[in-house]
Structure 1
Amino acid sequence: MKFQADQFGTAITAHGPGWIEVLGERVSHSLVLRSDGERSAWACSGFDELSPAHFAPLIEGTPELVVFGSGERLRFPKPAWIRALVEAGIGIETMDTPAACRTYNILAGEGRRVVAALLLETGASTPDRLK
C-alpha cells in the first residue's frame, strides 16, 4: 500500500556538472529549492562569490534544515555566512552539490521542512541520472 507520491513539487530528477533537473526541467544556474514547492534562482555562480547575504534569505519559512551544495567538490561555508541560520536555530549540512541533491530528495520526500541551496558552477561533462 502506497501512502505518498513518489515525487513532490521540487523533486530533483537528474543532475550533472553545472546543471540539475527539477521534475524534468533542466536548470543551469544556482538554485534554492524548498520542500514546500517554492524554487528560485540563487544569485551566485561560484563559491568565492558567496556572502552572508546569500544565506540570510534561507531562513524564510523556518525550515528544519538547510542542505548546502557547495559545487562539484566539498567546501565549507565561512561561519559569518551562516551566522543568521545558526542564530535562528536552523541546522545546516554542507556537501558537494550532487550529494546535496540526493539528500534533499530523501528529506523532502519524507515530508521534512528542508531547503536546498545548490551552487551550480560552470563545468562540463557527463550527466549522472538519479535513481
Structure 2
Amino acid sequence: MARFERDAAAEGPVVSGFSGGGFVVDEGVYRALLLTPLRADEWAAPALADLAPGDLETLLQLSPAPEFLILGTGPRLTHPARALREALEARGIGLEVMDSRAAARAWGLLRGEERWIAAALMPL
C-alpha cells in the first residue's frame, strides 16, 4: 500500500494512500470516490465518455459552490467531453483534469490550503 502524509492544516477527508486498486480515506478503501471538504463517498463512476453533470450532482450541490472540480480520470490523463466542461463553467465551476493518483495528491495539497473544492476520482 502506498501512503503519504496528511497535511496538518487540512480538514475533512483526505486521501492518505492507495491500496488494492483503491483510494484510502480514513478507515475505508474506495474504488472510485467523490470528495467534498465535508465528506467522502463511494462513487459508481460511469465510463469517462459517458460522464455527465448528473453523475456529479452531489458535488455540484455543495454550498457554496466549489471553486473548481478536480477530475481524476483513472490511471492516465484523458479529457472528458467538452459538454461536461461547458456545463460546469455555466455553473461558475472550473474543471481541472488529471490522472486519479495526481488528483488525489492535488486534493490533499489544495485542502491543506483550505481551498473550497470538490473532486471526482475514477478507478485506478
| In structure 2, C-alpha distance between the alignment counterparts of 1:86 and 1:60, rounded to whole Å | 14
Give 3-state SS (helix, strand or coil) of 1:80's partner. helix
Is residue 44 of structure 1 aligned with residue 45 of structure 2? Answer: yes
Unaligned 5+ residue runs, structure 1? 122-131
Q: Is the 1:12–1:22 Cα contact (8 Å) retained in structure 2?
A: yes
| TM-score, length-scaled by structure 1 | 0.76
User: How many pairs are equivalent?
Assistant: 116
Please tell me whether Structure 1 or Structure 2 has the larger radius of gyration of its CA atoms. 1
Q: Is the 1:45–1:120 Cα contact (8 Å) retained in structure 2?
A: no
**Partner of residue 106 from structure 2, selected from 94, 103, 119:** 103
**What is aligned with 1:70?**
73
| TM-score, length-scaled by structure 2 | 0.80
The residue type equivalent to 1:47 in the other structure is: L
**What is aligned with 1:33?**
35
The residue type equivalent to 1:55 in the other structure is: L
Post-superposition shift, 1:39?
Answer: 2.0
Is residue 91 of structure 1 aligned with residue 91 of structure 2? Answer: no
Task: Give aligned-pair identity as a percent.
Answer: 32
Post-superposition shift, 1:105?
Answer: 0.5
**What is aligned with 2:3?**
none
Moved over 6 A (4+): none
| In structure 2, C-alpha distance between the alignment counterparts of 1:78 and 1:56, rounded to whole Å | 17
Is residue 55 of structure 1 aligned with residue 56 of structure 2? Answer: yes
